[in-house]
């Protein structure tokens, strides 16, 4: 009886709806890639708090990055794990756009790993950049609207001493590994350090935000914040700079190498070949880049010589350049005049942008002089991108130091390069592309970014600029400058050119004042390979435009072409080429259907 009852119950249970056991499905390759991208992005924000701040992420606004040889090694090991996870994702199962993300991430992780293995993290400073040069700009680069903002800012001032100590540890490890910057580019380094070693904290540039508070900081809090800032500068900033100066004087400069080329470093020739591939994003060699540069120099020189003939100058090319470098009509008399002329050029270009682009960025840009403490050792201009949260515009920084080194005939090209349609237009648009993963919205693919900016200089020919032959000579001089880079960078870092030969080659061909030439050569010495990106990227964009014009004929639309080039943000040149070729096919297909 008991047995029958049990059987009946069992049969009854079988007839009831049975619970469903759900087996967790393996995430799709797309989901795996998305998760990995998010994790890598978050890791980057945690590791670089000031970068997070620049994007509007305020979680780490009271911190600076952890800097030491151990921290560099820790990041390297973590990136290796990220690379292994990426390799485990089935790329073939991803959509085409996701495959581009996959490939760009793989390239980035591979390049970052190579940089560590070649020990480039042990040279975190050069003649124009480094923590000591960038830190004083903190006052411009962080939000300062509330009491909490000021407390975060002051916390970073106090943290500077440890931050400087960490960089000293890296540089000291570089000495031990025979990986140092060349002595020649360190001349005058004191000028970037001593201005920040002050007896009175209120004389520090970093005290500037405490001199006038915004409405969001109650008056009752202001003196407390001033006192805290004075203490942080006296106890954090000044000791950090003082310790760094002593280290440079006693240890680093005496140990700096006499050679200038990357090939003189341990594994240097392999390192430079890596740098060539990294900064051009192409599978090319130093020899090929050098030859390309020589060909471009020859072509541009002929165009410059033609302008000399056009203006009827009685003398050879060298005499013409000397005339341009010494005639007062070609130079501003005051810094204000230089800034005003640049402003006029850019306002004129603003009105022409709709003729060249179908889509323009929402974010505006500003113009300001390069800070005095860095101006003597840096280039003619540079650009600072907007804040990622839209709270700060982009800025074109124009060097007003030594006006005799800032010829007005080159100002049109320089302004178009740094602001619009160059860096600002491209980078602001990229940051506004919410459909892209964040690592691409803030990508710094140099070949694309600098190639676009150099291409933008040439766009002035299409919309009313360079009407004065001297200004067009200035444009060609700027283009020649970038062509010379292909020659002198490979020459110094791979072909054992001495510094003097590189200076002579650039001075004879570029028409740049000697001050600019020497500053630029020292920049290339301290940053191997980076200077190759400009002309390489510009040549590729011009090549793709010529192909599109040839294949599309009357169907070619320059606005649509530019929109397509900029549509993916800063990408490696092979990715750009694939995108433009696809666009050409789309336009041709539309033509056939119509």
Residues 399-411 have pLDDT tens digits of: 999 998 899 999 9
Written as six digits, the tokens of 218 are: 């109650």
> Order of strands across the sheet with 365-369?
365-369, 394-398, 381-384
| pLDDT score, position 7 | 33
Pairwise CA distance, residues 86 & 8, whole Å = 55
- The rounded percent of the chain whose pLDDT value lies above 90 is 89
506 located within any domain: yes
Q: Domain range for residue 277?
A: 272-537
Residue 296: closest CA among 481, 50, 35: 481
91 located within any domain: yes
Select from 258, 284, 299 the last residue of a domain.
258
When pLDDT is cut at 50, 70 and 90, the band that residue 336 belongs to is very high
Beta carbons within 10 angstroms of residue 538's beta carbon: 24
Pairwise CA distance, residues 156 & 578, whole Å = 44
DSSP assignment of 479-495 equals HHHHHHHHHHHHHHHHS
Pairwise CA distance, residues 158 & 63, whole Å = 10
Residues forming a β-bridge with 384: 395
Q: Are residues 321 and 242 both part of a single domain?
A: no
Q: Are residues 287 and 237 both part of a single domain?
A: no
Written as six digits, the tokens of 443 are: 């990508």
Q: Are residues 295 and 158 both part of a single domain?
A: no
With 90 as the cut, is the pLDDT of residue 363 above it?
yes
| pLDDT score, position 23 | 54
Written as six digits, the tokens of 498 are: 């001495």
Q: Report pLDDT digits (tens) over 291-319.
A: 999 999 999 999 999 999 999 999 999 99
Pairwise CA distance, residues 416 & 412, whole Å = 6
Select from 232, 258, 284 the last residue of a domain.
258
Q: Are residues 243 and 308 both part of a single domain?
A: no
When pLDDT is cut at 50, 70 and 90, the band that residue 374 belongs to is confident
Pairwise CA distance, residues 431 & 453, whole Å = 16
Select from 258, 282, 301 the last residue of a domain.
258
User: Which ranges constitute the DSSP H helices of 353-422?
Assistant: 411-418
Q: Are residues 74 and 100 both part of a single domain?
A: yes
- C-alpha dihedral (403, 404, 406, 412), degrees to nearest 10: 110
Q: Are residues 246 and 349 both part of a single domain?
A: no
CB 209 within 8 A of CB 279: no
With 90 as the cut, is the pLDDT of residue 230 above it?
yes
Please state the rounded mean pLDDT for residues 86-99.
97
Q: Report pLDDT digits (tens) over 23-53.
A: 557 899 999 999 999 999 999 999 999 999 9
Q: Report pLDDT digits (tens) over 139-184.
A: 999 999 999 999 999 999 999 999 999 999 999 999 999 999 999 9
The count of structural domains within the chain is 2
CB 394 within 8 A of CB 427: yes
Residue 268: closest CA among 98, 119, 472: 119
| pLDDT score, position 593 | 57
Q: Are residues 326 and 457 both part of a single domain?
A: yes
When pLDDT is cut at 50, 70 and 90, the band that residue 20 belongs to is low
With 90 as the cut, is the pLDDT of residue 431 above it?
yes
With 60 as the cut, is the pLDDT of residue 69 above it?
yes
What pTM was computed for the model?
A: 0.91
457 located within any domain: yes
Pairwise CA distance, residues 336 & 580, whole Å = 42
Q: Are residues 239 and 346 both part of a single domain?
A: no
With 60 as the cut, is the pLDDT of residue 4 above it?
no
Please state the rounded mean pLDDT for residues 361-368.
97
Q: Are residues 235 and 286 both part of a single domain?
A: no
Pairwise CA distance, residues 466 & 329, whole Å = 17
Q: Which helix (H) or strand (E) holds 340?
A: helix 335-352
Pairwise CA distance, residues 110 & 367, whole Å = 37
| pLDDT score, position 379 | 77
Pairwise CA distance, residues 564 & 552, whole Å = 15
353 located within any domain: yes
109 located within any domain: yes
Please state the rounded mean pLDDT for residues 339-359.
98
CA-to-CA separations, 9 to 3, 5, 13, 206, 574, in angstroms, rounded: 10, 6, 6, 82, 70
Pairwise CA distance, residues 20 & 14, whole Å = 13
Pairwise CA distance, residues 19 & 39, whole Å = 36
580 located within any domain: no
CA-to-CA separations, 359 to 221, 354, 356, 362, 567, in angstroms, rounded: 45, 8, 9, 10, 10
Max CA pair span of the chain: 126
Written as six digits, the tokens of 276 are: 């060539």
524 located within any domain: yes
Estimate the share of the chain in helix, then strand, then coil, as percent rounded to the nearest 5: 70, 5, 30
Pairwise CA distance, residues 51 & 138, whole Å = 11
CA-to-CA separations, 161 to 152, 157, 170, 372, 546, in angstroms, rounded: 16, 8, 15, 23, 53
Q: Spell out the residues 6+ positions from residue 469 whose beta carbon is closer than 8 angstroms to its own.
A: 307, 310, 311
- The rounded percent of the chain whose pLDDT value lies above 70 is 95
Q: The dihedral of CA 475, 477, 483, 489: what is its sign?
A: negative
CA-to-CA separations, 393 to 6, 252, 325, 387, 431, in angstroms, rounded: 78, 37, 34, 7, 12
Average pLDDT for the chain:
94
Q: How many CA atoms lie within 13 A of 55 on its CB side?
A: 20
| pLDDT score, position 88 | 98
Q: Spell out the residues 6+ positions from residue 585 whose beta carbon is closer than 8 angstroms to its own.
A: none
DSSP letter at 491? Answer: H
How many angstroms from the chain centroid is the CA of residue 106? 20
When pLDDT is cut at 50, 70 and 90, the band that residue 19 belongs to is low
With 70 as the cut, is the pLDDT of residue 360 above it?
yes
Please state the rounded mean pLDDT for residues 461-476.
96
CA-to-CA separations, 441 to 109, 305, 368, 428, in angstroms, rounded: 17, 42, 25, 9
3-state secondary structure of 125: coil
Q: Report pLDDT digits (tens) over 106-134.
A: 999 999 999 999 999 999 999 889 999 99
CB 482 within 8 A of CB 257: no
Beta carbons within 10 angstroms of residue 395's beta carbon: 19
Work out the angle between the directed axes of helices 573-593 and 558-566 (0-180°, nearest 10): 140
Q: Using only C-alpha atoms, what is the Rg of the chain?
A: 28
| pLDDT score, position 11 | 37
| pLDDT score, position 339 | 97
Please state the rounded mean pLDDT for residues 55-66.
96
> First vs last Cα of the chain: how many Å apart?
85
Pairwise CA distance, residues 468 & 268, whole Å = 45
Pairwise CA distance, residues 534 & 453, whole Å = 8
User: Which ranges constitute the DSSP H helices of 16-137?
Assistant: 29-47, 49-54, 69-87, 96-117, 131-134
Pairwise CA distance, residues 174 & 265, whole Å = 11
With 60 as the cut, is the pLDDT of residue 16 above it?
no
The answer to whether the bond into 473 is cis (omega within 30° of 0) is no
With 50 as the cut, is the pLDDT of residue 1 above it?
no
With 50 as the cut, is the pLDDT of residue 422 above it?
yes
| pLDDT score, position 21 | 52
Q: Are residues 161 and 77 both part of a single domain?
A: yes
Q: Are residues 116 and 247 both part of a single domain?
A: yes
| pLDDT score, position 9 | 36
112 located within any domain: yes
| pLDDT score, position 8 | 38
Q: Are residues 215 and 318 both part of a single domain?
A: no
């Amino acid at each position: 009886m008991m047995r029958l009852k049990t059987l009946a119950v069992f049969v009854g249970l079988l007839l009831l709806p049975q619970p469903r056991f759900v087996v967790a499905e393996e995430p799709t390759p797309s989901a795996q890639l998305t998760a990995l991208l998010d994790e890598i992005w978050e890791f980057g924000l945690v590791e670089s708090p000031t970068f997070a701040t620049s994007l509007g992420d305020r979680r780490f606004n009271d911190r600076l990055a952890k800097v030491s040889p151990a921290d560099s090694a820790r990041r390297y090991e973590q990136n290796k794990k990220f690379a292994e996870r990426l390799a485990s994702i089935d790329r073939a199962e991803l959509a085409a756009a996701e495959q581009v993300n996959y490939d760009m991430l793989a390239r980035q992780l591979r390049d970052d790993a190579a940089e560590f293995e070649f020990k480039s993290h042990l040279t975190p400073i050069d003649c124009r950049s480094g923590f000591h040069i960038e830190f004083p700009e903190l006052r411009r680069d962080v939000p300062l609207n509330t009491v909490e903002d000021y407390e975060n800012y002051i916390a970073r001032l106090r943290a500077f001493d440890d931050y400087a100590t960490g960089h000293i540890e890296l540089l000291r490890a570089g000495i031990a590994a025979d990986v140092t910057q060349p002595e020649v580019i360190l001349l005058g380094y004191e000028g970037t350090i001593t201005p920040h070693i002050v007896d009175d904290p209120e004389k520090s540039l970093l005290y500037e935000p405490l001199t006038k508070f915004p409405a969001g900081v109650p008056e009752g809090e202001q003196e407390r914040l001033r006192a805290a800032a004075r203490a942080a500068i006296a106890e954090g900033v000044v000791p950090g700079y003082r310790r760094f100066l002593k280290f440079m004087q006693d240890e680093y400069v005496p140990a700096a190498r006499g050679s200038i080329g990357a090939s003189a470093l341990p594994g240097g020739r392999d390192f430079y070949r890596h740098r060539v591939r990294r900064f051009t994003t192409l599978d090319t060699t130093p020899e090929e880049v050098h030859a390309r540069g020589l060909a471009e120099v020859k072509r541009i020189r002929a165009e410059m010589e033609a302008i000399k003939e056009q203006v009827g100058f009685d003398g050879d090319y060298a005499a013409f350049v000397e005339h341009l470098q010494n005639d007062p009509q070609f130079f501003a008399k005051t810094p204000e005049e230089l800034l005003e002329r640049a402003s006029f050029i850019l306002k004129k270009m603003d009105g022409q942008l709709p003729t060249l682009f179908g889509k323009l960025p929402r974010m505006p840009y500003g113009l300001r002089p390069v800070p005095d403490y860095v101006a003597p050792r840096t280039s003619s201009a540079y650009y600072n991108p907007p804040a990622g949260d839209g709270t700060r515009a982009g800025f074109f920084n124009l060097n007003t130091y030594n006006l005799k080194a800032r010829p007005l005939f080159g100002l049109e090209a320089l302004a178009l390069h740094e602001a619009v349609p160059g860096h600002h237009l491209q980078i602001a648009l990229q940051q506004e592309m919410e459909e892209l993963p964040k690592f691409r919205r803030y990508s710094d693919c140099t070949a694309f970014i600098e190639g676009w900016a150099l291409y933008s200089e040439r766009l002035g020919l299409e919309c009313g600029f360079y009407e004065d032959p001297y200004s067009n000579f200035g444009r060609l001089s700027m283009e020649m400058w970038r062509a010379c880079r292909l020659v002198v960078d490979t020459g110094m870092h791979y072909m054992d050119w001495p510094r003097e030969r590189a200076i002579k080659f650039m001075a004879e061909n570029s028409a740049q004042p000697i001050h600019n030439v020497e500053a630029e050569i020292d920049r290339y010495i301290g940053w191997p390979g980076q200077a190759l990106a400009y002309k390489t990227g510009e040549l590729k964009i011009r090549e793709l435009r010529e192909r599109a014009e040839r294949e599309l004929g009357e169907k070619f639309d320059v606005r649509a072409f530019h929109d397509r080039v900029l549509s993916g943000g800063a990408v490696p040149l092979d990715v750009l080429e694939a995108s433009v070729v696809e666009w050409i096919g789309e336009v041709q297909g539309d033509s056939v259907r119509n």
